[in-house]
Amino acid sequence: MNKRILEALGFEEEVQNVELGLCPFCNQPIRVDEFKDELSIKEYKISGLCQRCQDGFFGEGGILGIPPESSTGFHYHHLPVP
Ligand SMILES: [Zn+2]
């Protein structure tokens, strides 16, 4: 991940989170043992997203099917406003 580019784009907070081992989306600590498979780990290395957020984005009932927020502690405050 190119930090300079991310910072230039105004993602300082997200970069910080990733460096702290926090998911940039839900701000929860990343738990490596949470990842289901290599694909998830790969995705984490690209986006820094935790398994739960990956599920939210890419999984069934994903972002575009809006997962139930209560059960996962999924927060939407970091969702980019279109
Ligand atoms: Zn997350």
pLDDT at 62 over 80: no
Query: Residue 32: is its pLDDT beyond 80?
Result: yes
Is 8 a member of any domain?
yes
* Residue 81 placed within a domain: no
Look at residue 67 and tell me if it is in a domain: yes
Q: What is the Å distance from ligand 1's center to 58 Cα?
A: 12
- How many domains is the chain partitioned into structurally? 1
What range defines the domain where residue 32 resides? Answer: 3-72
Q: How far is the CA of 30 from the centre of ligand 1 (A)?
A: 7
Q: What pLDDT is stored for residue 29 in this prediction?
A: 92
**Ligand 1 centre distance from Cα of residue 4 (Å):** 22
Residue 39 in domain: yes
> Distance between CA 79 and CA 59 in Å, rounded?
17
* Better-scored residue on pLDDT, 15 or 77: 15
Flag whether pLDDT at 18 surpasses 80.
Answer: no
CA of 17 to the centre of ligand 1 (A): 11
Is 49 inside a domain boundary? yes
